[in-house]
A and B are shown apart, each in its own frame.
Chain A
Amino acid sequence: MTTSLTTESLTLGYGTRPVVTDLTLTLPTGRITTIVGANACGKSTLLRGMARLLPADSGRVLLDGADIHAMPTKQVARRLGLLPQSPIAPEGITVAELVAQGRHPHRRAFARWTPGEDAIVADALEATGVLDLADRVVDELSGGQRQRVWIALALAQQTEVLLLDEPTTYLDVCHQVEVLDLLTDLNRSRGTTIAMVLHDLNLAARYADHMVAVHHGTIHACGRAEEGLTEETVKVVFGLDARVVEDPTSGRPMILPLGRHHVRHD
């Protein structure tokens, strides 16, 4: 697994205002990176820029050293997978049919399905634990199950890099953990480079090999969670007074917000 994804002095935004300014970031290959920041800080914009969804105003996004916008979309899709923020499942589509769409970048225009491709789709369904849901209609599944199906789609795409835009935002806590554990499994077993935008700071700290804190369109801090996530960082990036302690279950940093009430002063 050697595909690398980096940005070089990337500036991009919507319309005339740049949202991300002069940002240089290298995703550590084969690791899980979580991107955090306050609302509208540019983290989703950054991810979308890396996913080739937004053109760069200046700077470049490099996939294996080549400018991502210079490559044909299908070629990029063979190496870079994306789980967007609000994916839409067409009405009435079954799990198997949806996951099969993940094979698109690898298929020729009017090609027939090969048994090999069926096996890849089946593999993806199994790895995400939704094989027994293969004939179910996606609309009828729970939030957690749906997210697993979309991850299966990305798996069927067989890319070395996977970007996820807020994969856990609309899920119950138990499903959030379910999805993040699944992504960790995939990373450990297949070596997929994963980058995801997460809004829950504690989960982001727990599951990250590498954390990136985005503030006003630039990187405020990045590195291992233990190094990058300090009380000062939380204050600057989130405007939040907090205490950072060690999470007894994982050994990772845990952020305890300090409000005006219910704080012991001893």
Chain B
Amino acid sequence: MSATVVRAARRRASRRAGVTIAALSCTLLALFAFSLVWGDRIYPISDVVAVLAGQDVPGASFSVGELRLPRAVLAVLAGASFGIAGVTFQTMLRNPLASPDIIGITHGANVMALFCILVLGLSGLAVSVSAVIAGVGTAFGIYLLAARGGVVGTRLILIGIGIAAMLHSATLYLLVSADQWDLQGAMRWLTGSLNLASWDDVAMLSLAALLLVPIVLVLGRDLGLLRLGDDAAAGLGVAVERSRRLLVVAAVALAAFATAATGPISFVSFMAGPIAVRLVGPRGALIVPAALTGAVLVLSADLVGQFLFEHRYPVGVVTGALGAPFLVYLLIRTQRTGGSL
């Protein structure tokens, strides 16, 4: 019967998605455990578990509990946030190259965060909220500029690149003029780093994620339909403008909160989505896989940056170095399948 053909195809796709998510989760768990155990001093897993359970283990309580644990948790949260923001934008704009770190949105959050810290002397929640406002403002500014006459997509990306360049130079100016800062610390704002991860950062990002991720999940199906084009999506009952606005705000806010906590970790937003699509297949429902992929990316990049070379590199440098080869791969694959960007 023909209905069985359809059902079988659907089940296959669901199974693949399920397996992928399970595999990504296991990988993430393994990396997480590894990051707690490994370091200048290697602690046995029993010590780690004890610290997690709240016991006081001499040595481990500080190294694992105060240094490694917040760092790992922040890596996961930031990676997931960047991944979700990236896949949302890439899907809405129907272009894998249109992620918030390329079209200037994280730059806006970054400049504002830097400005707040260096010039206004703020810290903590005030910085994060300002960063979010700046990020959302940048996004809407770009959107408004690009969306005259209902044309979105290409123009938005191009304008975003221009804004990104402008904001990048503002970042450079702030860095250059703030020479009382430790340069190493300042690097965080150029490429993103987990070196200063604290429980405050974790708390803030968790709260933000708790608020924003459900919004994106609920709108997840609309997001899948928006891939068919605005007209087709509207014809299928999607409130296009409203969904798009909500998704933009949620995605930008996620990216901005993450940027305020870690600086702009390059390319995670860009890479998480396409990798997730490759693993899960082209069905909708990319949000959870992209979040997991982002988390795995950040965590593994941080481990590589810390331990693989004789010098410790911030996570943003590692992910940044991956970006260009990844782009080449993406484009070669696109050419082979005859698609377009």
The reply to whether A and B meet directly (CB within 8 Å) is yes
Q: CB-CB < 8 A to A75: which residues of B?
A: 237
B13 touches A97 (CB 8 A): yes
CB contact under 8 A between A91 and B339, given known A73-B239, A97-B282: yes
A96 touches B10 (CB 8 A): yes
Measured between C-beta atoms, what is the minimum distance from B217 to chain A in Å?
9
Looking at chain B, what size class is its interface with the partner chain?
Answer: 35 or more
A82 touches B9 (CB 8 A): no
Q: CB-CB < 8 A to A104: which residues of B?
A: 221, 225, 236-238
B231 touches A122 (CB 8 A): no
Q: CB-CB < 8 A to A94: which residues of B?
A: 9, 282
CB contact under 8 A between A118 and B6, given known A87-B229, A139-B339: yes
Interface centre among B228, B281, B338, by most chain A C-beta atoms within 10 angstroms, is B228
The verdict on B54 contacting chain A, using a C-beta distance below 8 Å, is no
Contacting residues of chain B (131-188) with chain A, CB-CB under 8 angstroms:
149-150
**Residue-wise interface mask of A (86-120) relative to B, using a CB-CB cutoff of 8 A (1 in contact, 0 not):** 11111111101110111011000100010100110
Q: CB-CB < 8 A to A86: which residues of B?
A: 229
**Residue-wise interface mask of B (1-34) relative to A, using a CB-CB cutoff of 8 A (1 in contact, 0 not):** 1111111011001000000000000000000000
Contacting residues of chain A (60-90) with chain B, CB-CB under 8 angstroms:
72-78, 80-90
CB contact under 8 A between A131 and B229, given known A96-B10, A100-B10, A139-B339: no
The verdict on B283 contacting chain A, using a C-beta distance below 8 Å, is yes
A102 touches B3 (CB 8 A): no
For the complex, what is the distance from the CA of A78 to the CA of B235, rounded to whole Å?
Answer: 9
Looking at chain A, what size class is its interface with the partner chain?
Answer: 35 or more
**Residue-wise interface mask of B (219-251) relative to A, using a CB-CB cutoff of 8 A (1 in contact, 0 not):** 001001101110110111111000000000000
Measured between C-beta atoms, what is the minimum distance from B100 to chain A in Å?
20
Please list the residues of chain A having a beta carbon within 8 angstroms of any beta carbon in chain B: 14-15, 48, 51-53, 72-78, 80-94, 96-98, 100-102, 104-105, 109, 113, 115, 118-119, 121-123, 125-126, 131, 134-135, 139, 154, 157, 165
CB contact under 8 A between A87 and B7, given known A73-B239, A131-B2: no
Measured between C-beta atoms, what is the minimum distance from B283 to chain A in Å?
6
Beyond known contacts A73-B238, A88-B232, A101-B224: 15 more, CB 8 A cutoff? A48-B231, A51-B235, A53-B235, A80-B235, A82-B235, A84-B235, A88-B94, A90-B228, A96-B10, A100-B10, A104-B236, A119-B3, A123-B2, A126-B2, A157-B236
Q: CB-CB < 8 A to B277: which residues of A?
A: 92
B282 touches A53 (CB 8 A): no
The verdict on B46 contacting chain A, using a C-beta distance below 8 Å, is no
For the complex, what is the distance from the CA of A97 to the CA of B16, rounded to whole Å?
Answer: 14
B228 touches A87 (CB 8 A): yes
The verdict on B53 contacting chain A, using a C-beta distance below 8 Å, is no
Q: CB-CB < 8 A to B339: which residues of A?
A: 91, 139
For the complex, what is the distance from the CA of A87 to the CA of B3, rounded to whole Å?
Answer: 25
CB contact under 8 A between A122 and B236, given known A84-B231, A87-B229, A139-B339: no
For the complex, what is the distance from the CA of A83 to the CA of B94, rounded to whole Å?
Answer: 19
One of A77, A91, A139 near B236 (C-beta < 8 A): A77
Q: CB-CB < 8 A to B228: which residues of A?
A: 87-90, 98, 101
For the complex, what is the distance from the CA of A48 to the CA of B282, rounded to whole Å?
Answer: 29
For the complex, what is the distance from the CA of A101 to the CA of B284, rounded to whole Å?
Answer: 10
Q: CB-CB < 8 A to B283: which residues of A?
A: 93, 97
For the complex, what is the distance from the CA of A218 to the CA of B149, rounded to whole Å?
Answer: 23
Q: CB-CB < 8 A to A109: which residues of B?
A: 218, 221
Q: CB-CB < 8 A to A122: which residues of B?
A: 1-3, 5-6
